[in-house]
């Protein structure tokens, strides 16, 4: 696990650009505290920071080809590198290191001949990541055509590892994090106005455009080629199959493939462990890990003073049953310190409050291991989130009542009081409104932080007018409508795999863990596992009032009933008490400091005062504003796009 950056310039690269490249590398030293490598060979420059995991002695990057006409830098892990290495050596490749990343270089040399056109180059380059099993971002420098050197960027199928790029008048600049691109001085520190609305509505900035004007996010499962003559070409090389659902799994199919995916992720030359909560996914990964290791697994769990957010007691029972070495710590988060420190590592505003406990558990784990396995991805694959259960129920009602019933439900929902303070049985407004909506819009309501109308109402009037045509829902709807499978649940999962998962969940895990130089591996997001089980029939996912049915039943011989049948707990934070307690003055100061050309400041202040009275709860919005302001300060955001 590492970080890389680089650029290629129309006017060429000289030794004078080394200081620029060094400054870019310095911004990601947290991703790679063990080693650094710089390579400048006109017109391309590559920079690298290393967290040593495999081939500790010889895995220095950039890795060059024997004739110095190719070079590669990569962030992540290639789990099938040994098999690929053996095959490549059998066809004549000569390896200089034991690094997994070097396999990318030899695959490219074999699959992509020199002297080809831009469309053929991107098509053949896409064959390289198709051969890989793992999580990665990589950059290849190709000088074989002296008249048209090329840069090739690639990202893993699910978007586990990040990769950003920008094309400017000078050339192309890229990196594992946005801050490397900003440090190049080739891009202005300006927020996209559309990204501000996206952030308020959904709590993160997603899609191919980052929060920053001119800086793009390379989509998951994509390859990019660039040369001075040909410019940028991007091609997607993988997607979830969207044609049909499969049948119910065989009894041992799920656990056998899970064991294999975990086993593939146990290769490391440094201490390795796993996160353990009281939930199904992390417990399942821990069991598979214990089964595959010859020694007791090292498991890391954090507990919290707030017992509603604490799963330590369940995790302790699991660890004991596995004979594990269990590292535990009771945390008392300092939310003020977190809100001030985390924005440096999160180059885009992310309003998910679980960034704080994710960062804290990563910090605890890093005291004992360098690599940790996590259970991320199980909820997306097996429909484990509560919103999937609600979506199935709403679609059943929607199909039963027909068009007249949907119209009536929408009308009643529009006037039904929003009783946030009342017992759950009386809080029917969202259900009534959703039943009256089309399935895509109804599901969107369950993942959005607030409605577009409510978000737009908070903006400065000039900005509000400029965003008349922009609706964050449109990008989500494009993914939702793409599958040929006529199943609302699968469509919702498919959309989440292309939005929520890479741009919120995996971004959170990557930035929070790499902030402390911890590599996190996610076996449940092995693309083979996702391809196999994301297409299960609806009743194999949502059964009764619970999700993950097939996974629960497959794990029943292994996991306790307390884990399998217990109440689902989110890895969350007590926002409401924080914002009326230790973060009260920080929130007030943030609202005072947010630019008046971004927001309608009197409305923000009124929301803050209403929250502090206790009559209403605006904790999610206030947290979003607090995160936004500290992000803006930490990254010296100069302005918002006109």
In a domain, 42, yes or no: yes
* Domain match, 135 and 280 both: no
Which pLDDT value is given to residue 426?
39
Residue 554's domain is classified under what CATH number? 3.40.50.620
* Domain match, 545 and 586 both: no
Residue 477 has a CB neighbour count (10 Å cut-off) of 17
Long-range contacts of 263-267 (CB under 8 A, 24+ apart): 263/288, 263/292, 264/79, 264/80, 264/133, 264/523, 264/526, 265/77, 265/79, 265/373, 265/521, 265/523, 266/292, 266/293, 267/54, 267/77, 267/79
Q: Which of 534, 565, 596 is the last residue of a domain?
A: 565
Q: Which of 533, 565, 597 is the last residue of a domain?
A: 565
| Annotated active-site residue in 2, 25, 205, 300 | 2
Q: How far apart are CA 599 and CA 590, in angstroms?
A: 12
0.75 exceeded by pTM = yes
Q: Which of 236, 262, 289 is the last residue of a domain?
A: 236
Q: How far apart are CA 307 and CA 469, in angstroms?
A: 45
SS3 601: helix
Task: For residues 349-364, give the mean pLDDT.
Answer: 94
Task: For residues 335-360, give the mean pLDDT.
Answer: 94
Task: Decide if 326 contacts 616 (C-beta within 8 A).
Answer: no
Which pLDDT value is given to residue 146?
93
In a domain, 453, yes or no: no
Closest CA to 245 of 51, 555, 517, 485: 485
Residue 245's contacts (CB-CB under 8 Å, 6 or more residues apart) are 485, 487, 490, 535, 536, 537, 538
Task: Decide if 460 contacts 428 (C-beta within 8 A).
Answer: no
Task: For residues 210-235, give the mean pLDDT.
Answer: 98
The bridge status of strand 44-50 relative to strand 35-41 is antiparallel
Task: For residues 328-332, give the mean pLDDT.
Answer: 87
DSSP 8-class letter at 294: S
pLDDT at 571 over 70: no
Which pLDDT value is given to residue 412?
46
In a domain, 62, yes or no: yes
Numbers of helices and strands, H then E, in the chain: 30, 19
Q: Model confidence at 57, in pLDDT bands (50, 70, 90)?
A: confident
Which pLDDT value is given to residue 422?
42
Q: How far apart are CA 137 and CA 444, in angstroms?
A: 29
Residue 505's contacts (CB-CB under 8 Å, 6 or more residues apart) are 376, 380
Tens of pLDDT, residues 92-124: 999 999 999 999 999 999 999 999 999 999 999
Q: Model confidence at 1, in pLDDT bands (50, 70, 90)?
A: low
- Got the DSSP string for 135-168? EEEEEEEE-SSTTS-EEEEEE-TT--S--EEEE-
Mean pLDDT of the chain: 92
The bridge status of strand 231-236 relative to strand 222-227 is antiparallel
In a domain, 438, yes or no: no
pLDDT at 419 over 60: no
CA 371 to chain centre: 18
pLDDT at 398 over 90: no
Q: What is the dihedral of CA 5, 11, 17, 23, to 10 degrees?
A: -40
Q: Which of 227-231, 398-402, 508-512 has the lowest mean pLDDT?
A: 398-402
CA distances from 213 to 196, 345, 351, 388, 635 (A): 11, 19, 20, 34, 14
* Domain match, 533 and 584 both: no
* Domain match, 232 and 270 both: no
* Domain match, 73 and 220 both: yes
Q: How far apart are CA 209 and CA 418, in angstroms?
A: 35
Domain span at residue 300 reads 253-381+498-565
Task: Decide if 55 contacts 98 (C-beta within 8 A).
Answer: yes
Alpha helices in 228-334 (DSSP H): 253-264, 280-292, 312-322
Which pLDDT value is given to residue 66?
82
In a domain, 193, yes or no: yes
pLDDT at 58 over 90: no
* Domain match, 582 and 560 both: no
In a domain, 216, yes or no: yes
Q: Is 374 annotated as a binding residue?
A: yes
In a domain, 431, yes or no: no
Task: Decide if 435 contacts 469 (C-beta within 8 A).
Answer: no
Task: For residues 444-460, give the mean pLDDT.
Answer: 96
Q: Model confidence at 333, in pLDDT bands (50, 70, 90)?
A: confident
Task: For residues 80-86, give the mean pLDDT.
Answer: 97
Residue 170's domain is classified under what CATH number? 3.60.20.10
* Domain match, 522 and 581 both: no
* Domain match, 205 and 320 both: no
* Domain match, 600 and 530 both: no
Alpha helices in 161-230 (DSSP H): 178-183, 193-202
Q: Is 539 annotated as a binding residue?
A: no
Task: Decide if 63 contacts 97 (C-beta within 8 A).
Answer: yes
In a domain, 220, yes or no: yes
Task: Decide if 352 contacts 504 (C-beta within 8 A).
Answer: yes
Tens of pLDDT, residues 266-278: 999 999 999 999 9
Q: How far apart are CA 305 and CA 79, in angstroms?
A: 38
Residue 408 has a CB neighbour count (10 Å cut-off) of 14
Q: How many domains does the chain have?
A: 3
* Domain match, 99 and 212 both: yes
* Domain match, 149 and 61 both: yes
Q: Is 115 annotated as a binding residue?
A: no
- Angle at CA of residue 330, ends 325 and 335, nearest 5°: 135
300 included as an active-site residue: no
* Domain match, 159 and 39 both: yes
């Amino acid at each position: 696990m590492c970080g890389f950056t680089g650029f290629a310039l129309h006017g060429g690269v000289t030794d004078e650009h080394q200081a620029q490249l060094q400054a870019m590398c310095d911004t990601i030293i947290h991703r790679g505290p063990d080693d650094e490598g710089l390579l400048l060979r006109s017109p391309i420059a590559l920079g690298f920071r290393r967290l040593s995991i495999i081939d500790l002695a010889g895995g220095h990057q950039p890795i060059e080809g024997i004739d110095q006409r190719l070079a590669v830098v990569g962030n992540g892990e290639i789990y099938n590198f040994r098999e690929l290495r053996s095959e490549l050596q059998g066809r004549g490749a000569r390896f200089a290191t034991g690094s997994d990343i070097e396999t990318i270089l030899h695959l490219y040399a074999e699959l992509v001949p020199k002297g080809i056109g831009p469309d053929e180059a991107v098509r053949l380059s896409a064959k390289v990541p198709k051969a890989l099993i793992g999580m990665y971002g990589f950059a290849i420098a190709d000088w074989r055509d002296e008249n048209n050197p090329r840069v090739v960027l690639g990202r893993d199928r699910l978007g586990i590892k990040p990769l950003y790029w920008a094309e400017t008048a000078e050339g192309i600049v890229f990196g594992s994090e946005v801050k490397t691109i900003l440090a190049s001085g080739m891009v202005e520190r300006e927020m996209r106005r559309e990204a501000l609305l996206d952030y308020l509505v959904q709590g993160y900035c997603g899609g191919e455009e980052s929060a920053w004007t001119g800086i793009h996010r390379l989509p998951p499962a994509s390859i990019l080629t660039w040369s001075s003559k040909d410019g940028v070409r991007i091609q997607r090389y993988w997607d979830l199959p969207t044609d049909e659902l499969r049948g119910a799994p065989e009894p041992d199919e799920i656990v056998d493939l899970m064991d294999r995916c975990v086993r593939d992720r146990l290769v490391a030359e440094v201490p390795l462990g796993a996160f353990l909560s009281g939930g199904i996914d992390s417990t399942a990964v821990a069991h598979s890990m214990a089964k595959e290791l010859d020694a007791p697994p090292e498991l890391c769990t954090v507990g919290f003073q707030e017992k509603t957010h604490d799963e330590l007691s369940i995790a302790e029972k699991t660890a004991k049953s596995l004979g594990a070495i269990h590292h535990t710590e009771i945390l008392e988060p300092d939310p003020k310190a977190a809100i001030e420190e985390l924005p440096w590592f999160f180059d885009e505003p992310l309003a998910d409050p679980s960034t704080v406990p994710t960062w804290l558990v990563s910090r605890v784990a890093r005291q004992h291991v360098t690599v940790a396995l996590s259970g991320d991805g199980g909820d997306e694959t097996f429909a484990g989130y509560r919103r999937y259960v609600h979506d199935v129920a709403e679609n059943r009602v929607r199909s039963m009542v027909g068009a007249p019933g949907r119209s009536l439900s929408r009308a009643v929902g529009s006037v039904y009081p929003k009783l946030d303070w009342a017992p759950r049985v009386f809080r029917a407004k969202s259900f009534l409104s959703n039943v009256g909506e089309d399935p895509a819009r109804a599901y969107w309501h369950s993942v959005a932080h607030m409605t577009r109308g409510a978000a737009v109402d908070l903006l400065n009037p000039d900005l509000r007018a400029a965003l008349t045509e922009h609706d964050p829902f449109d990008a989500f709807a494009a993914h939702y409508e793409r599958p040929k499978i006529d199943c609302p649940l699968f469509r919702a999962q498919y959309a989440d795999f292309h939005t929520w998962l890479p741009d919120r969940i995996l971004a959170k895990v990557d930035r929070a863990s790499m902030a402390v130089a911890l590599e996190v591996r996610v076996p449940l997001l092995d693309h083979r596992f996702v391809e196999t089980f994301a297409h299960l029939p609806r009743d194999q996912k949502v059964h009764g009032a619970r999700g993950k049915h097939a996974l629960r039943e497959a794990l029943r011989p292994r996991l306790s009933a307390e884990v399998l049948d217990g109440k689902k707990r989110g890895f969350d934070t007590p926002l409401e008490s924080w914002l009326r307690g230790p973060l009260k003055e920080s929130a007030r100061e943030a609202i005072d400091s947010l630019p008046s050309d971004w927001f309608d400041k009197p409305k923000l202040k009124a929301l803050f005062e209403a929250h502090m009275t206790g009559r209403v709860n605006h904790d999610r919005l206030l947290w979003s504003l607090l995160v936004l302001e500290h992000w803006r300060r930490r990254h010296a955001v100069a302005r918002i796009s006109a």
